[in-house]
Amino acid sequence: MDRAQQRRQFLHQLAAASTATMMAGAPRMLTANEGAPLEQPTPTADSCILLWMAGGMAAPDTFDPKKYVPFEVGTPVAKVESTFPSIDTNVDNIKISEGMENIAQVMDRGTLIRSHVLPDLGSILHSRHQYHWHTGYVPPQTVACPHIGAWMARVLGPLNPVMPAFINIGQRLEGVGEQEELKAFTTAGFFGSEFGPMNLPYPEQAAQSVRPPEGMPPDRFANRNKLFRKLIDQSPMRDYIGDFQRESQLRSMENAYRLLSAKEREAFDISLEPKESYEKYDTGRFGRGCLLARRLVENGARFVEVTTEYVPFLNWDTHANGFTTLQRMKQEVDLPVAQLIRDLEARGLLDRTLVILASEFSRDMIMEGKPGSNARDQATEAVEVFKEMKHYGQHRHFTGGSCVMMWGGGVRKGMLYGETANERPFVATKNPVSVTDLHATIFTAMGISPKTVFEIERRPFYATEDGKGKAVSEIFGA
């Protein structure tokens, strides 16, 4: 089966799951076996910011540098492990990759996990791996799975009743490749629309999302809101949507309408940020998204995702020109990420805000998937020796070992957890952390048991797959 056929099959399966979900009734939270409420862990964080390096961030050229060999025509590809030299950080035993000098100076505020492992799903498609990472479930599933942000919105509720509990910054859902797959996991799934994300593709335009259109007086806008509610209730599609889903959609509109008249809407306007502060984030859409995330968390947002945006063959999706592309990506993310950590700390928010930097998998120069994988090589510049600069870089998907950085929210400071092999293949060799256990770690920090379970379509659905996720307790504490 070729890539196009796999994609069509995947879309068909996602559509079937979404249709089933829209007809389903209200999900019901189940109690522990003895009938008592499930005991939830004491949270170490109130808010969560996910910095999503969409497209497959190469660990050997970012947070897990290996042997560096500079570009030279005629050099065998197999001799090169990293295309950037390593640099010191402010933690003695941690080195990261050149081009991340600002992040290097905030490594003492968090924990670096170097042993995150992803499954080899046979066909390594970004859409499938992003779906898995964001929901904790490998697609396809019989129902639409909620995003981890939706779990927080549903179980914890809003931190500030005016602010949306789940906000997604930087990802367009229209006009980009694999847009339907992106829509499949950027949702609340069976929880209902009210727990889904407020999508803000362009941070600099976020303020427009929380004010009526220019020239529209308040009374006309109120009438428009009433008409919209009526249209939803009278839609010819209502026969294909369960009562719960329709009511949830109406509640989501009520929540949005309430925000429009609240003072917190100023948090969405990054133009109000002082010039000196704004400029530290102004490296591109992702950098401005980090600024917006900080302002939203300051005003009580529960979960915010900021993405470098997934578009096939762009950004971290380096099937060619890996080195030159990473030079650009580092310039875009290095300062804003570090400044976000510094600003949260300066405002007394970092201790109760869990900041996560992650990607769907890593990359390697010569290996697709992991040892023993039968996945098709997807590099567009598959050569054995370097002939041009475009050949120099990490061009294959690699699932055997990846990196996750976590700051604040109760995690240890200046800690290194796990490791990968020093020689290729760079698989995790110590303390591997699966997606299931990483989610358990995130949920535990936020005060959600990994065993939290809802009944949907007469079967249990857990926060972590089958409720088996185990938090990595070693990374918490002083």
pLDDT digits (tens, 9 = 90+) for 3-29: 566 656 655 555 555 555 555 567 778
Q: Report the alpha-carbon distance of residue 145 to residue 166 in Å, rounded.
A: 15
Tally the C-alpha atoms within 13 A of residue 257's C-alpha that lie toward its C-beta. 16
pLDDT digits (tens, 9 = 90+) for 223-278: 666 676 666 666 655 555 566 566 666 666 666 667 777 889 999 999 999 999 99
Using CA atoms, how far residue 59 sits from 316, 361, 381, in Å, is 11, 9, 20
Number of domains in the chain: 1
Does 256 fall in a domain? Answer: no
The pair of structure tokens assigned to 373 is 């994988």
Does 94 fall in a domain? Answer: yes
The residue segments making up the domain with residue 422 are 26-205+275-475
Q: Residue 128 is part of a domain; what is its CATH number?
A: 3.40.720.10
Task: Supply the pLDDT for residue 73.
Answer: 97
Three-state secondary structure call for residue 415 = strand
Q: Report the alpha-carbon distance of residue 212 to residue 219 in Å, rounded.
A: 11
Place of tokens 């949306």: 164
Does 236 fall in a domain? Answer: no
Task: Supply the pLDDT for residue 372.
Answer: 86
The β-bridge partners of 7 are none
Does 361 fall in a domain? Answer: yes
The pair of structure tokens assigned to 296 is 């939203």
Does 381 fall in a domain? Answer: yes
pLDDT average, residue stretch 465-477: 95
Does 216 fall in a domain? Answer: no
The gap from C-alpha 104 to its chain's centroid, in whole angstroms, comes to 21
Task: Supply the pLDDT for residue 91.
Answer: 98
Task: Supply the pLDDT for residue 225.
Answer: 61
Backbone Cα Rg of the chain: 22
Does 336 fall in a domain? Answer: yes
Does 16 fall in a domain? Answer: no
* CB count in 10 Å sphere of residue 334: 18
